[in-house]
Structure 1
Amino acid sequence: MDERALEKLGWGSPFQEGWHSHESEGVEPARIAADYGVDYMLYSAHGNLRATVPGRLRMAIRKGESIRPVVGDWVAVEPRIQEGTSVIQAVLPRRTQLVRKAAGRTDEEQVVAANLDVVFLVSALTRDLNPRRLERYLTVAWDSGAQPVVVLTKADLCEDVVAARERIAELAPDVPLHVVSSVTGEGLDVLWQYIGGNRTVALIGSSGVGKSTLINRLIGAARMEVGEVREDDKGRHTTTHRELFVLPQGGLVIDTPGMRELGLMENEEGLRTAFVDIEELGAGCRFNDCRHENEPGCAVLEASRDGRLAPERLENYRKLNLEVTRLERQRDAQAQARTKQETKKSTRAYNTFQKKRGR
């Protein structure tokens, strides 16, 4: 195993520990570079390999006994070097993962990318700049276990960058925030502090905010197709799948398609961290279980009335908190239903066994 080649792909001690159980199986580590739905493209010590998932692993994934490989995952593969292909045999334990609720009415989670060090929350300094959407992105980023960084693009199209920056900075004063322009190059050098040392950075944001253009500037070549900017300042969405890029200067970046839906999962920790100001204010409420709606002695409502807390920020907190709570209840109800079903099966099996014994 060429560990020096793997280190350029983000390999390190956390993955070496998970690799021990696979060392004697005649397989090698590789990293998922692109997910095409049916098959994958991998980075390995041998170069790029196409990969498929065998029926055994697909069955284990359907049963919930294994996880589905996603971009950023380290996997154990059986390489077929002459053919340029490989077969994925197992997925190594993840350090971090960016998760959202799958699109639609389902409450299933969808892992967007794995083994990230940093998440760039990308938003454009145009008419599409939406603080409420960024609050949602921050919640998901904090849940991932990676470091969130807000990147405001298209500074060349903004008439008042200072005012826009201050408006967004108020949402998360402890989160790094950078203003950049992929056209003029403004602010791009600062972003390298998060990418160096073979770290992995994922870019998430709405369609047309400039993620692909930003990646092209970091790579130093036009690797990603970029759509034209429309009259409403929105770029045309072009990314159709998640992909991991190795940068010439070191480090890796993951581009993701624009997310029309970014549903939260039932982890409250990310919500608390994204709205730490409300959590701190809530410590002064009269009741420990205050919901900050109409309870007497609510310190959060008082802060909203006297201007210390923006009413729209409180409203978005309530909305996201309700979303997380609803998912928790759904999961609890589903767990109870499964337990009830398993109990019925066990009872039927026991009764059948007793009847056979009686014969």
Structure 2
Amino acid sequence: MGPGLGLTRRALLAGAAAIAAKPGWADAGGPAWLSAALRGRDDWRLIGLRPDGGVAFDLALPGRGHAAAAHPAAPLAVAFARRPGAFALVIDCAEGVERARLTAPPERAFSGHGAFSADGALLFSGENAHDLGRGRIGVWDATDWRRIGEFDSGGIGPHEILRAPDGASLIVANGGILTHPDSGRQKLNLPTMRPNLARLRMGDGALIETVEPEPALRLNSLRHLAVAPDGTVAVAAQWQGDLRAAPPLAALWRPGAEGLDWLGAPEAPLLRMRGYAGSVAIARDGTRLVATGPRGGLALVFDIARGFKRAVEAADVCGAAPAGDGFALTDGAGRVLTLGDGSAKPLGRIDGALDNHLVAL
């Protein structure tokens, strides 16, 4: 073996060792999901939940969290405050320390959700721009956490954003509701509200396409998202109209299609939902979805090809994520549940309350 080849081999071995030494999610206790939680009076937490429902880590937050963006490889999570967001914390979940605290620019407020690029180099944050009356997507360098840009969200009131399976675009749920800090949480534009889903090019924020509810359903604020491996998007809605109505609260969208495919359900469970779907998740095989209804104590299960399957009783259920060949659900009593083909079954429980969303790793 010549000296040049030996040096190359040693360099390769050193590089492989360095890569192997980089911490991953296994170093944070092997969590399957992330959730914000409340442990006691004003004791707000970010919790990692293992596949068996146990707690992988339990870290402090400065206030109520909403959802977290999970780094695709490193054990890093960005915990976003409940909207209008005053904080976005970058947390090393393996070391249990805060790495950075992101601050939105003046006239901007975090909307509770964010997403990483596929390589983890960039973080995208959903934001409301109060000076513009529009939504914006903040862009952050995930190596030093500098804000390096922003672009239009494609609508008003962006809420959840997800990276599309193509790795090159973002899906944004623009809820359509205009708010302003001077008016608290008052909804300022219900007579003209127009929610939409927008697909944006990740590199420069260019708008690729949008889709919005038909006029009869324009008061269905599009809030939360799930995406299947084939790119099919599921969206959960929150009705801003008369609660004596029983509008559909979940829809499918296949990018390139001209409209939303609303998923109908019997009137009785839809009335119990009280116009509010809290989260949505798609099973790993892409065949089923679940939409949770904390106000009605129900989870609605749909076959993506055939429509409504059943309503499952689950008090104060809101968080939802894929688990095994079914779903994991969480509720305000701290329970972690599994949902397959039957009823929701207990998996684990924390001492406290699990908040709105369950983020799969």
The two structures have a TM-score, normalised by structure 1, of: 0.30
Greater strand percent: which structure? Answer: 2
Larger RCO (CA within 8 A; separation ≥ 6):
1
Greater helix percent: which structure? Answer: 1
Structure of greater Rg: 1
